[in-house]
Amino acid sequence: MCAAIIAFKPFLRNSLMPETLNGVVEQLKQIGITEHDALVIADCVITRKSCSWVNIDPVDEAMIRDLKDLVDKENYKIDVKVQPIPTRSKFIWEVKVL
């Protein structure tokens, strides 16, 4: 087995995060995040890559608050910002890995 894989396995076992994309997606959907947004956020969490996208799915302050609470609780080590564009009924999502 590759030394990098051996070194990485304990991190996965001891991590507070679900080890699968589907686990993260389900957590996000439970707090009201749409499936599309949940898939992108989960991909950022699992791959540890920052990303941004534009979407038309509505986002409210309560959803953002719940998302930040989940990120802190699960120790995802990401920062999520959502900027509304009211004139176009769109939202710019930005996820940065910390």
The tens place of each residue's pLDDT in the chain, 98 residues long, gives 333 333 333 333 334 445 588 889 999 999 999 999 999 999 999 899 999 999 999 899 999 999 999 999 989 999 999 999 988 889 999 999 99
pTM as predicted: 0.75
Q: What is the pLDDT of residue 22?
A: 85
How much of the chain is helix, strand and coil, in % rounded to 5?
A: 50, 20, 30
Taken in order 19, 36, 80, 74, is the CA torsion positive or negative?
negative
Residue numbers of the domain that contains 91: 3-97
Using an 8 Å Cβ cutoff, are 97 and 77 in contact? yes
Backbone angles phi, psi at 56, to 5 degrees: -105, -5
pLDDT of residue 19: 59
Q: Which of 39, 97, 98, 41 is nearest to 64 (CA)?
A: 41
Structural domain count of the chain: 1
